Structure formats: C-alpha cells, structure tokens
C-alpha cells in the first residue's frame, strides 16, 4: 500500500480517486445488451449467460427440487449460523418500523402519512469468485418485513449451471421461490423489462461489479427504481496510536479480498502505526487463499498520515467511504463528526465483517462517494410513504381563502375555481 504523508488539501481529490472505470468506458456495452434483451427476451438472456458465464442453460428458473436439494448440501453448522444472522437482521430491521403520522394542520384539515410496500422487487446476488449468500439475507429479510408481494432473485450460475447451495438455502429460509440463474447486465435488463420467464419488477436491489452498477443506473431510464449505485467494495479505517495494528490490517484485507477493483484506505495520526499496519498487511496477505485478488486491490489502496483529528475527519468526509472503521481514543469525535459514510464500525472489537454477516445492520451500502447522498439499504428502502388528507366543511371554510389567493397569484384559475365552487355552496 502506498504511504502518503501530510497531503495538501488540493491533492485530496486525486489521492482519493477510486480505481474504477468511468461510466463511458462500459455504458455502450450495457446499452447494447439492454436493447437486445428488451427486443428478444429470454433468447438474449441465454446468449449472454453463455457468453459471460460459459454455460448453456435449458431454463433460467431454479426448480423446487434444486432448492430442496440445496438444503442437504449446506452443513448443519453453517445452516445454524445463517439462521442466527437472519434472526439479528430481522430484529434490527423490524425495529425500523414507524407508526402512522397523523395531524390536524388547521381545524378541520386532517393530514396523515402511511407506508406501503413496493409490490415487486428484484434482488441481485453476486456470484463470481465469492457467491454472496449473506446478501440474500440482507435484501430478502427486509423485503419480507416490509410486505413486498413478489421478490425475484437473480444470481449468475457457475460453470455447471448451478447456484451455490448456500444462496438457495438462504433464499428458501426467507421464503423466496422465484429464483433465476442469470447474472450481470443481463439480469438487471431482465428485471427491468421482464422476459418470458423473468418477471418485471418496480425496484432493483443489490451490489455488483461496475457493469452491474451501470446497468442499474440505466434501468432507471426505463422507470425502474434502484436502491443505490453500489459498486466495488471499499473501506476506510481511521486508527491512532492506541489501535491494534494486526486488527486494522485484518480489516483492510477483509475488504481487499472482495475483488481486484476494491479499495481500502488507512488514515492515521501515527506514523508508527502506519508502519506496523503495513508490516501486518504483508504478513497476513501471504497466507490468504485469495491472495492474488487482495494483492491487486492493495495496489489500488493507500495509507495516509495526517497531523491531527480535524484534518483526518475532513479527509474522511471528503472520501465518503462505504465502510468506516474508527479505532481511536477519541472515537466520539469521529462518531459525532462523520457525515458521509455508509456504515460505521467503532472500536477494536467491531470488525467490518460483523456488519457483512451477522450483527444485524445491512451490508448493501453506497460506494464511490455516493454515501454523500444515499443511505444504505434499510426497511424504508422497500416501502413508499403515501400521504392522505381529509378536509371537512369547517376545514375548507378555514383554509379555502388561502388556497384561492395562492392559486390566483400563480395564474391557475382552475385551481382557484376548484375551491371557490365548494365555498360558494358552503356559504349558501
């Protein structure tokens, strides 16, 4: 990892660049695949599954038998771990339920807000080098709690035309039965337009590589909502001289092993800690099964020394990390001051892996600076807030003149008339 000492603020933008391709680099490919799937449906899906995943499928849909067989292939200990994680995710997301908001704004004018589930949602579960069955829990559990009527799951097949048993087990545990062996751009396009086999949805959730991220953004042009632009994984750690260097190195590597385009950053007010963490990263990296992937990610990553907490916090907020770990004696300063982060992990005994799997918080988070404007997935991600109002005769008499004056001032006579015609009857 490259070490940078006391960078000038004017250099931050360059230093904090993500190692990702620009949208222009891959947008043409995404548009071409979208156009073909819109036109040819499943035929195009099969074509791109063969091209990108190297497998010819007779059907996209996972059968009930395949789901049932998957259960037997998942070790009991892992089943119990998945159940425990699901329980914690359920507890945390169920706690996010909010009651109806109801208030009389003016005498006789009753306004309220209620939440309704998004009826049809698509969840994308990355496969590739690491099938993320934990993401099934992160997306399907809150969807179930919200009351979504239809949950459609897509994930890329392996070379044998199968999905990982753990993915199917987690899906079954969440009551999801509409599961399709489709990955990448073609999955997002299938969920956007609907095909002969894949249902069209109203909102698409889930992380993915840069192609999936751009595909999700393109889906919005066709009236389909998305959770957020969630691309390659990233982690920023702030650690001072009180931090445990081996712990910090393990956290950095835990995200570096996600993919070659992941990025991890250490910010510290201690040059000694930076040196210690650097040594630990090298030592721990050498024994990782995914060393080749993590090495490439580490090459995109940095260790940054700054003089004080105030500079560190400014730099972190500028970066806007997906995951933010705080290991410092003055951790409350960072807890109070962080404005831009997807999820925050505090203290030596809070590894980022806890949020990835089982603490209860959601791991589907905004990347690539989008934490400056987007929240991570939560219960409200699967709900819509709808407003209602009911006005009595007394209410219209109290509020009518205000509406008339405002409508007339905007030059919208029909708006005014809609009130005036009622007031005329009420004043008879």
pLDDT digits 0-9 by tens, 245-284 = 999 999 999 999 988 888 999 999 999 999 999 999 999 9
Per-residue tokens: 308: 């004080």
69, 8: one domain: no
Tell me the average pLDDT across 173-184. 96
Q: Is residue 376 assigned to a domain?
A: no
pLDDT band at 42 (very low <50, low <70, confident <90, very high): very high
Find out whether 332 is annotated in a ligand binding site. Answer: no
253, 166: one domain: no
Give the domain-ending residue among 354, 383, 409.
354
342, 414: one domain: no
Q: Is residue 400 assigned to a domain?
A: yes
Provide the domain limits for residue 239. 2-18+232-354
Q: Which residues pair with 346 in a beta bridge?
A: 326
DSSP 106-142: ETTEEEEEEEEE-SEEEEE---TTS--HHHHHHHHHH
Give me the active site residues, please: 322-323
Give 197-239 pLDDT, tens digit per residue. 999 999 999 988 889 989 999 999 999 999 998 778 899 999 9
Q: Which residues pair with 180 in a beta bridge?
A: 61, 154
Number of folded domains in the chain? 3
Residue 375's pLDDT is 96
178, 292: one domain: no
Find out whether 186 is annotated in a ligand binding site. Answer: yes
CB 293 within 8 A of CB 259: yes
pLDDT band at 73 (very low <50, low <70, confident <90, very high): very high
298, 170: one domain: no
Give 330-380 pLDDT, tens digit per residue. 999 999 999 999 999 999 999 999 999 999 999 999 998 999 999 999 999
Give the domain-ending residue among 231, 256, 288.
231
Give the domain-ending residue among 197, 216, 231.
231
CA dihedral 274, 279, 283, 289 (to 10 degrees): 40
pLDDT band at 21 (very low <50, low <70, confident <90, very high): low
Rg (CA), the chain: 25
Find out whether 255 is annotated in a ligand binding site. Answer: yes
Residue 40's pLDDT is 98
91, 119: one domain: yes
Find out whether 317 is annotated in a ligand binding site. Answer: no
57, 81: one domain: yes
Find out whether 124 is annotated in a ligand binding site. Answer: yes
176, 28: one domain: yes
Q: Is residue 373 assigned to a domain?
A: no
Q: Is residue 371 assigned to a domain?
A: no
105, 183: one domain: yes
CB 134 within 8 A of CB 166: no
Lowest pLDDT segment from 6-20, 175-189, 239-253, 265-279: 6-20
Q: Is residue 385 assigned to a domain?
A: no
Q: Is residue 382 assigned to a domain?
A: no
Q: Residue 417's domain is classified under what CATH number?
A: 1.20.5.1300
Q: Is residue 379 assigned to a domain?
A: no
To which H or E segment does residue 87 belong? helix 76-94
154, 110: one domain: yes
Q: Can you tell me whether residue 187 is helix, strand or coil?
A: helix
Looking at the predicted structure, is the pLDDT value of residue 300 above 90? no
Tell me the average pLDDT across 163-183. 96
Residue 414's pLDDT is 98
Q: Residue 199's domain is classified under what CATH number?
A: 3.40.50.1980
Tell me the average pLDDT across 17-25. 71
Looking at the predicted structure, is the pLDDT value of residue 411 above 90? yes
211, 104: one domain: yes
Q: Is residue 200 assigned to a domain?
A: yes
Residue 127's pLDDT is 83
50, 88: one domain: yes
Residue 129's pLDDT is 66
Tell me the average pLDDT across 312-329. 98
């Amino acid at each position: 990892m490259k070490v940078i000492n006391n960078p000038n603020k004017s250099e931050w933008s360059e230093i904090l660049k993500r190692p990702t391709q620009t949208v222009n680099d891959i947008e043409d490919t995404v548009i071409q695949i979208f156009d073909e799937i819109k036109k040819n449906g499943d035929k195009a899906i099969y074509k791109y599954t063969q091209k990108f995943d190297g497998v010819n499928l007779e059907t996209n849909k996972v059968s009930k038998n395949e789901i049932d067989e998957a259960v037997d292939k998942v070790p009991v200990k892992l089943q119990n771990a998945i159940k425990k994680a699901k329980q914690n995710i359920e507890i945390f997301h169920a706690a996010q339920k909010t009651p109806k908001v109801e208030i009389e704004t003016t005498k006789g004018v009753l306004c309220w807000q209620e939440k309704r589930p998004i009826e049809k949602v698509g969840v994308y579960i990355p496969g590739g080098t690491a099938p993320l069955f934990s993401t099934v829990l992160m997306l399907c559990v809150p969807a179930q709690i919200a009351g979504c009527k239809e949950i459609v799951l897509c994930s890329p097949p392996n070379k044998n035309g199968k999905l990982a048993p753990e993915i199917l087990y987690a899906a079954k545990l969440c009551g999801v039965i509409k599961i399709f062996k489709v990955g990448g751009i073609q999955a997002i396009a299938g969920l956007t337009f609907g095909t002969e086999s894949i249902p069209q949805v109203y909102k698409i959730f889930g992380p993915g590589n840069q192609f999936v991220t751009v595909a999700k953004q393109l889906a919005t042009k066709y009236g389909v909502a998305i959770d957020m632009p969630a691309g390659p994984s990233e982690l920023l750690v702030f650690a001072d001289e009180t931090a445990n260097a081996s712990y910090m190195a393990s956290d950095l590597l835990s995200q570096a092993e996600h993919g070659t385009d992941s990025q991890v950053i250490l910010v510290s007010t201690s040059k000694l800690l930076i040196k210690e963490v650097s040594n630990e990263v090298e030592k721990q990296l050498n024994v990782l099964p995914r060393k080749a992937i993590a090495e490439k990610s580490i090459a995109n990553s940095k260790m940054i020394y700054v003089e004080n907490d105030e500079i560190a916090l400014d730099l972190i907020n500028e970066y806007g990390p997906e995951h933010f770990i705080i290991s410092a004696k003055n951790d409350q300063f960072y807890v109070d001051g962080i404005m831009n982060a997807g999820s925050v992990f505090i203290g030596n005994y809070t590894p980022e892996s806890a949020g990835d799997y089982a603490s209860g918080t959601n791991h589907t988070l905004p990347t690539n600076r989008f934490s400056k404007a987007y929240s991570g997935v939560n219960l409200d991600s699967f709900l819509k807030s709808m407003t209602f109002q009911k006005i009595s005769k007394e209410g219209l008499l109290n509020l009518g003149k205000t509406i008339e004056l405002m409508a007339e001032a905007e030059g919208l006579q029909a708006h005014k008339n809609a009130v005036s015609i009622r007031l005329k009857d009420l004043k008879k």
